[in-house]
Structure 1
Amino acid sequence: MLSFCCVAILLASCSRKKDTFINRNFHAMGTYYNILYNGNIALENGRETVDNAATDNYWELLPIERMQVKEDAFMPGQAKNQDFERAEEKAIKAVQKHGMNIKGKEFNPQIDEAYLLLGKSRYFDQRFVPALEAFNYILYKYPASDKINTAKVWREKTNIRLENNALAIQNLKELIEDEVLEDQDMADANAILAQAYINTKSKDSALTKLVIAAEFTKKNREQARFNYIIGQLYNEFGKIDSANIAFDKIIDMHRKIPRPYYINAHLAKAANFDTIGGDRMAFEEYLADLEEDRENRPFLDKIFYRIAEYHRGNKHDSLAVAYYNKSLRTNLGDKELRSRDYETLGNMNFDIAEYKLAGAYYDSTMTNLTINSKPFRVIERKRENLEDVIRYEDIARANDSILNLVSLSEADQLAFFTEHTNELKAIAAAEAEKAEAEVRRNTGLQSASNTIQTARIEPSTRGGAPGKQTFYFYNPTTVAYGKNEFVKIWGDRELKDNWRLSDTKSSTFQAIEEQEITTNASEDKRFDPEFYIAQIPSDQKVLDSLARERNFAYYQLGAIYKEKFSEYQLARERLEQLLKNDPEERLILPSKYNLYKIYMELGLAQKAEMTKTDIINNYPDSRYAQILLNPNSGLDQDENSPERLYDGLYKKFGDQDYEEVIAKTEEYINRFAGDPMVPKFEILKASAKGRLFGFEAYKTGVNYIALTYPNTEEGKKADEILKTAIPILAMKEFKPNDEAKHFNVLYPFSSDEKENIPEFIKKLEEAVAKVDYFDLTTSIDVYDQNTIFVVVHGLTSAQGASGFAELLKENKQKIKRQFCAISSPNYEIVQRHKNLSNYLEFQ
């Protein structure tokens, strides 16, 4: 009987439609201790997964919440994370199985928490609109809930994710002012309000709210994060002392927080060190402690970077370079850090004019940046500006080396290459010894005692005493190998301070330029000095060509260093060296004018005045002399400026005066060598040659522009034309007349008959005007140097074109002249390839 009563009471308590004490507590306990308990466990597991998946970028201002929003597309109702899906299922089950909604009122006090769990699981699963619905339902249905403030905070977190920042700010301010919040709710409300202020660029207001959030939160992880962001904001405001106080709070927490917060707080504080007034010795010990702590090994790349920055700030460039390279070697995948390392190394080499090495570092920088991002485009532009410098420096270096070798006597050439072949022999011996040692190691023939012996410096080997020489610097073979490697990388350098600077290279020779020759030579020739001497060019035409190419490279380098990089000292060196090389006449005057401008920039008034006098006295009729005599007259934009001359030539091009355009562009290209307008003159010349001489001449001109001016807009356009337009323009097969819709009549005139063309055109236009059933027009088209076409356009068939020309023979004007009927597509081919005779055969 007792069992029956218990079962009856149990069944009665399962009802969700009766508001009784037993029913309420039965469903409340079942909801809290079973379903919500498991749901909250799943939620925390999911949050941990989200937290672990997020990667904080400490180089930028951290977001308040450690959650990365993904843009993946999901079907409605589809969850991204199984833990959140389970938590959502538990929340829904709690509502469905234990909800006691009787006459519109909920009597189970745990259902509001079920909806809160539902909203949180959707929020962390990044389904923000459904999450907002869950939080709003709590506010609408459970206004007296003890979780109402928590629900309001989460609603505004969701609004911020949906970019409703203004609404979130308004609601959170009202919540903080009007309600008495628990500590964690107060922390959450102020933290998320700070995020809304950051999103709306009100960082000063965000800072105030974050200080409150850090004070009220009970979670160590959140406290560390908030304080780190506070320190970042103080740094942005230039309040270094306040920032360091925030970072110290994180450092004091040490093992209570995740290691990344602790280490990055140390590094951020180190970045704020006062290198002028601070205790450098204590600070260096502090950095050394960070480096040597075994627990910091996963963060050595960032520590090395910070140490490198410190040394660079103190002008200890060699130490800085060493630590930047250490940072790169220990990097564990931080692309932002890698890009900063490479960019800084690139900038350091750029500053000392090692442009080729800087270009290589910038290439590596771009591989670690997001393509087409703003930082990527900045580095890309800087890298493109180095292209010409690297190319012309290589040309100048290589040609100088060859010409210097040519200038040596036979005895000196023999001595030079004898030394070089001796080094090659030493390298070969070192490589053979290394290979032999490797074989011994691999075959197990080398004993452990020998290994130990080779690893230490035997006293007997010092000072040349008998015994096997195993230390690197006691072995002449390995020393020769090392010397040669140094020369290959750095060139022949003088032994003095700042040897890495580009202007400290030895003036005798740069690194020898015969590596390919050495590689391709047979074994016996590689070590024969006469083999290399035979490779030195002796043909005067070749030597003149090398000198011209070298001189033009020096001029371009002077102009680039002056205009693009404002490296006036380097520009001066290149242009002064050019003038010593006895350059061709066209380079002398612009070089002197550029030197005058450079001397003015460097404050060398006496040299500037001497150069100015030289130009005025020796080139009185030049544009440069007129500008120097009248600096305020705007003569650089007068009728003799490159821009005005180009405009005049372009008009002549439109008038089909191609021969004059070609002649004048060649003159102006020589006159304005190095001027930015030169590539435009080249394009105009190529176009005129194409119109006058045909496709092959045009192709040659465009190819020359693409190779000679690769980094100008004209050079890039020429390269594009070569890839896209030239293959199409190359086609010269004539098309059948039945495929064409437009036809023309050609009347050829020789250049000797040029004066008869106006009268012929007059008669032709009178005849054409009387034809009202076709829309006919006439034109005069240059075909080549010897032939001009008078053309009638607008006919619709080949027979119609021929019939029209025959009709003109019989009309009042009696236009009796040899003609040719041709379709418009075939006329384009004839003009492009100058193959009229082929067309006539085709017809």
Structure 2
Amino acid sequence: MVSCSRKKDKFINRNFHAVTAEFNALYNGYNALQQGRNSLNESYFDNYWDVLPIERMQIFEDIVLPGQSKNDNFTRAEEKAIKAIQKHSITVEGKEKNPQMDEAYLLLGKARYFDQRFIPALEAFNYILYKYPASDKINQAKIWREKTNIRLDNDDLAIKNLKRLLRQEDLEGQDLADATAILAQGYLNTKIVDTAITQLEIAAQATKSSDERGRYRFIQGQLYNQLGYKDSANIVFDKVIELNRKTPRIYMISAYLEKIKNFDFENGNKLETTELLTELEENRENRPFLDKIYHQIGEFKRKNQLDSMAVVYYNKSLRTNSQDRILKARNYEILGDMNFDKSIYRTAGEYYDSTMTNLVLNSKPYRVIKRKRDNLEDVIYYEAIAQVNDSILNLVNLTETERLTYFETLITKLKEKAEQEKEKAEAEARSANNGLATVNNKIGSQANRNGAPNQAAVFYFYNPTTVAYGKNEFVKIWGSRPLEDNWRWSNKAKTGGANTTITNNDVLASATEDEKFDPQFYISKIPSNEKEIDSISKERNYAYYQLGLIYKEKFKEYGLAKDKLQSLLKSNPEERLILPLKYNLYKIYELLGENDEALITKNEIIKSYPESRYANILEHPELVSDRDENSPESLYEALYIQHENQEYLDVISKSEDYISRFDGEPIVPKFELLKATASGRLYGYEAYKEAISTLAINYANTDEGKQAQNIQKSLLPKIASSKFTEENDSIVSNHKVVFKFTDQESEQILGFQSTLDTVLKSIKYYDLKSSVDVYNPNTTLVVVHGLKNAQVAKTFDQLLTKENKKKIKAPYFAVSSANYQIIQIHKNLDSYLNIDNN
């Protein structure tokens, strides 16, 4: 009992509390700390696509409230450290007599550090430096303090303190390794790479841990690669490989792969490298790393122009179900790029979609891939339309005998597939029945010894075999259905072209068992109406025209563009497409160096369309600039100015003319949007809604079409109501005074506004302005703005002097800004005047 006292500086007291603290609280605390570090290491996923951090530790951005912790093990370690301090500290005359207290504070700081509470951790380490300057743990405390400073982004301070520590103290062993390793991290953070490599070399030689040595060496190799010193990098990677099983295998495998990345394809021994990759692939111990190995084999094959084999290995890497999302993204991106280079744009787009699902949303790599994918949107859309409509038109052009033969072949394949599915389902049913009969070696229908049913055998979802059987039954009955509302309906509208039912699986889904194997059922689905066939043909032709322009302008694939446009020219296109089609073919022939074809096409355009803009350009290229006054861009700009000047009738008329004239060119959706806006301003909400709907449907894949879709979704619902708001004198709001003029009085408007502006300037206490607003083709409104009160607006004439009243004799009415907006949107001025007292 005497030895338990913490107020006496005696041998027995000091040693009792030292031993109790060391082998009780601190022992358990360090065990908890180690468990926490192990869990951190297990959950941490190194990104080998970038230079590894010196210390394996995941920094979380989540905010933790006081009293909370990211890891219970670190909380327990901290509690043990605090318990050791509270119960075993012996402070006599201001000095600590228990030699284990510095260890307790070090444990406290480490627990807080790994729990990512860096400010409290820094306090614990600083307390050791302040309170225990003679401690044998003083150097460790200094090192851990600088580790904490680096986590707090105080890199320069940490480097300064560590350099001083290394200069003043003769560190060795693990202390030297820790100090130089964290100093290397400071240099990496400040982009001083060469000095970081030197410090890592010291750390790798001094450390007692083979795990750390392998990591430090591997980081050295990465840094040499970053500096472009591939030979030095390979030497360091060889040192990692020599460690073999002394260090985690991931370092050895990654070192091999990094060496292969550094392979000299001009002078290197390709056979030796191929054998090495095969050996890595076939080694059973490397199975956890096959995703990386397959990817690197794919890279090696691709750089050797063995593209088909490269694709095989990229797909093998994807099939390993790798947890490395960056690796998966790279595999998908490379496959997408390979398809893009082969002009297989639709498949490339699908690969880019998969790439984005494995990247961080809105990160720079994500935005780069999204930009690539967006560029493919139009070509995928029009290729789908062209493919579907071509298949339909091919069926339309077949004779009855040919159609019958075609569908009989199709039905034979369907029967074979149905038979295979039936056999598979029966096998799975037998397996499922066996699974239901015995689960965990018990009879499913039997009760357990206590008489209670066997729940594991009864509950459906506890048996994976029965679940698989159920899934197959669903597919057998319903087919492959997306997860969406009304999933059972097979006749929902599809986008991407009219009449897609012949090539769509919905035909099979809607067919009865008898119809599914009846050729006449499918033949009956082929369009026979001339108007319907003509519509399909026109849609196909327009898709071909757009594809020709996209391949020519966006992707510079002039061969593909020529094929599409020549195919269109042979398909009896509409008259409106022939001239721009031939002009674009002429430009493509020039770009491909096919001068004879270009000359023939040029002469055809000049001869057949002598008055056209294209003929003028071809005959007088020296007189026509890119932005001449008759170019679509110049005409659009002039029309936009007219729109700003409220010349809406003229804008609508000219837009229709230009849409017809430039049909098929990229400028057309802009004219459509301008026309829709002008129609809304002149004729109101319903006209605007109809025009926007037409634009959203007909030009869905253009920027203007997407803007129209956004207007439909966001703006139109907000302005749909034509109900007027209450105008209350007690509510301070903007009001307007409105003078109404008919089209017969149009010549008086400018003179009236000029007089009105003069009068408004003479009115005191109000800053009033006027404007002329077109209401509809027959009515124009002159509006006074700047009034804040309904009563003042209604008695506007009382603000005028007798002299000014003689100048402004026209009748007026007052309206709130909100109601004026409704009047202009819905063109319901008469309704407003009928319910108002104006």
TM over 0.5: yes
Alignment partners' CA distance in 1, 2:635 and 2:765: 45
CA 1:790/1:138 → structure 2, altered by over 3 Å: closer, same or farther?
closer
Counterpart for residue 158 of structure 1: 148
Q: Secondary structure at the match of 1:782?
A: strand
Match of 2:710 among 705, 708, 720: 720
Deviation at 1:396, TM superposition (A): 1.4
Q: Distance in 2 between matches of 1:632 and 1:266?
A: 62
- Structure 1 match to 2:348: 358
d(CA) in 2 for partners of 1:646 and 1:298?
Answer: 61
From 735, 738, 742, the equivalent of 2:735 is: 742
Structure 1 vs Structure 2 CA RMSD: 4.0
Aligned pairs for 1:692-711 within 5 A: 692-711=682-701
Partner of 1:828: 821
Counterpart in the other structure of 1:573: 563
Alignment of 1:368-379 (within 5 A): 368-379=358-369
- Matches of residues 10-89 of structure 1 in structure 2 within 5 Å? 11=2, 17-18=8-9, 29=19, 31-32=21-22, 35-76=25-66, 79-89=69-79
Aligned to 1:189: 179
Residue aligning to 1:247: 237
Per-residue displacement from partner, 1:357-412 (whole Å, max 9, x unpaired)?
32222222222222222222222222222221111111112222223333344444
Q: 1:196 Cα shift? A: 0.9
Superposed, which structure 2 residues align to 1:372-521 within 5 Å? 372-432=362-422, 434-435=424-425, 513=503, 515-521=505-511
* CA–CA distance in structure 1, aligned partners of residues 770 and 124 of structure 2: 78
**How far, CA to CA, are the matches of 1:533 and 1:587 in structure 2?**
32
Tell me if the contact between 2:322 and 2:328 (Cα under 8 Å) persists in the aligned partners: no
**Mapped partners of 1:645, 1:769: distance in 2:** 39
Gaps of 5+ in 1: 1-9, 445-484, 486-509
Could you tell me which residue of structure 1 aligns to residue 493 of structure 2?
A: none
Q: Residues 231-254 of structure 1, C-alpha deviation per residue, up to 9 Å, x if partnerless?
A: 222222333333233223222222
Measure how far apart 1:727 and its partner are. 1.2
TM-score, normalization by structure 1: 0.80
Q: The residue matched to 1:635 in structure 2 has which SS?
A: coil
Give, in whole Å, the separation in 2 of the partners of 1:22 and 1:773.
93
Structure 2: give runs of 5+ residues left out of the alignment: 435-478, 480-499
Aligned partners of 1:41 and 1:442: how far apart in 2? 48
Conservation of the 8 A alpha-carbon contact between 2:411 and 2:519: yes
Q: Deviations over 1:721-761 (max 9, x none)?
A: 212210122212244555886354453524x6645656776
- Please say if residues 740 and 779 of structure 2, whose CA atoms lie closer than 8 Å, have aligned partners that are also in contact: no
Q: CA deviation at 1:333?
A: 3.1
Contact 1:748 1:819 in 2 (8 A): no
1:782 corresponds in structure 2 to 774
User: Counterpart of 2:359 in 1: which secondary structure?
Assistant: coil
- 2:335 is the counterpart of 1:345: yes
CA gap of 1:195–1:631, structure 2 versus 1, over 3 A, is farther
**Distance in 2 of aligned mates of 1:765 and 1:532:** 74
**AA of the residue aligned to 1:130:** P
The residue type equivalent to 2:560 in the other structure is L
Q: Secondary structure at the match of 2:626?
A: helix
CA distance in 1, matches of 2:737, 2:517: 71
Q: CA deviation at 1:66?
A: 0.7
Contact 1:744 1:824 (C-alpha < 8 Å) held by counterparts: no
Q: What SS does the aligned partner of 2:503 have?
A: coil
- In structure 2, do the counterparts of structure 1 residues 841 and 538 end up closer, same or farther at CA, with 3 Å as the change threshold? farther
Pick the aligned partner of 1:238 from 200, 213, 228: 228
8 Å contact from structure 2 (residues 735, 793) kept in 1: no
Query: In structure 2, the residue corresponding to 1:637 is in which secondary structure?
Result: coil
Residue in structure 1 matching 2:635, options 642, 645, 653? 645
SS in 2 for 1:747: strand
* 8 Å contact kept, 1:304–1:323: yes
- Deviation per CA, 1:680-712, whole angstroms, max 9, x where unpaired? 222211011112222122112222333344454
1:667 aligns with 2:657: yes
Aligned length: 767
Q: For residue 168 of structure 1, report the CA deviation from its aligned partner.
A: 1.1
Contact 1:767 1:808 in 2 (8 A): no
Structure 1 counterpart of 2:566, one-letter code: E
Whether the aligned pair in 2 keeps the contact of 1:248 and 1:265 (CA below 8 Å) is yes
1:658 equivalent in structure 2: 648
Instruction: Map 1:265-344 to 2 at 5 A.
Output: 265-344=255-334
- Provide the residue aligned with 1:504 in structure 2: none
- Gap change, CA 1:704 and 1:215, over 3 Å in 2: farther
Q: In structure 1, what residue type is equivalent to 2:369?
A: I
Cα 1:171–1:634 change in 2 (3 A) is farther
Q: 1:679 aligns to what SS in structure 2? A: helix
Would you say the 8 A contact 1:665–1:685 is kept in 2?
yes
Quick one: distance in 2 between partners of 1:575 and 1:209?
64
Kindly, what percent of the aligned residue pairs are identical? 56
C-alpha separation in 2, matches of 1:184 and 1:27: 28
- Residues 598-637 of structure 1 aligned to structure 2 (within 5 Å): 598-604=588-594, 607-608=597-598, 611=601, 623-624=613-614, 635-637=625-627
Helix, strand or coil at the partner of 2:391:
helix
Deviation at 1:770, TM superposition (A): 8.7
The one-letter amino acid of 1:749's match is: T
Matched residues in 2 for 1:654 and 1:546: separation? Answer: 39
Which is worse superposed, 163-172 or 431-440? Answer: 431-440
Q: Which residue of 2 aligns with 1:215?
A: 205
Tell me the distance in 1 between the aligned counterparts of 2:432 and 2:136.
Answer: 75
1:106-149 CA distances to partner (integer Å, 9 max, x unpaired)? Answer: 55544433333332232222222222223223333444433332
Counterpart for residue 121 of structure 1 = 111
1:564 paired residue number: 554
Structure 2 length as normaliser, TM-score?
A: 0.80
Deviation at 1:103, TM superposition (A): 4.4
Question: Larger deviation: 219-228 or 432-441?
Answer: 432-441
- The 2-side partners of 1:131 and 1:760 are apart by 78
Please tell me whether the aligned partners of residues 739 and 810 of structure 2 are also in contact (alpha carbons under 8 angstroms).
Answer: no
Match of 2:437 in 1: none
Change (3 A) 1:215 1:769: closer
Maintained 8 Å contact 1:16/1:99? no
Q: Distance in 1 between matches of 2:595 and 2:502?
A: 39
**Which letter maps to 2:776?**
D
Q: 1:14 to 1:802 in 2, by over 3 A?
A: closer
Work out whether residues 187 and 216 of structure 1, in 8 Å CA contact, stay in contact via their aligned partners in 2. Answer: yes
**Contact 1:746–1:822 (8 Å) recurs in 2:** no
Q: Given that residues 696 and 708 in structure 2 are in contact (C-alpha distance below 8 angstroms), is that contact kept between their aligned partners in structure 1?
A: yes
AA in 2 matched with 1:181: L
Q: Distance in 2 between matches of 1:804 and 1:549?
A: 61
Displacement, 1:626?
5.8
Give, in whole Å, the separation in 2 of the partners of 1:304 and 1:189: 38
Give the letter aligned to residue 60 of structure 1. Answer: D
Q: Which moved more, 1:766-775 or 1:643-652?
A: 766-775
Q: Could you tell me how far apart the structure 2 residues matched to 1:763 and 1:89 are?
A: 85
Letter in 2 for 1:782: V
Distance in 1, Cα, partners of 2:429 & 2:88? 78
Judge which range, 523-532 or 209-218, deviates more: 523-532
Structure 1, 570-579 or 832-841: larger mean CA deviation: 832-841
State the 1:162 CA deviation.
Answer: 0.9
State the Cα distance separating 1:163 from its structure 2 match: 0.5
- Partner of 2:776, secondary structure, is coil
Alpha-carbon distance in 2 for matches of 1:153, 1:73:
26
**Mapped partners of 2:750, 2:501: distance in 1:** 66
Q: How does 1:196-211 map to 2 (within 5 A)?
A: 196-211=186-201
Alignment-mate amino acid for residue 560 of structure 1: I
Q: Distance in 1 between matches of 2:430 and 2:131?
A: 84
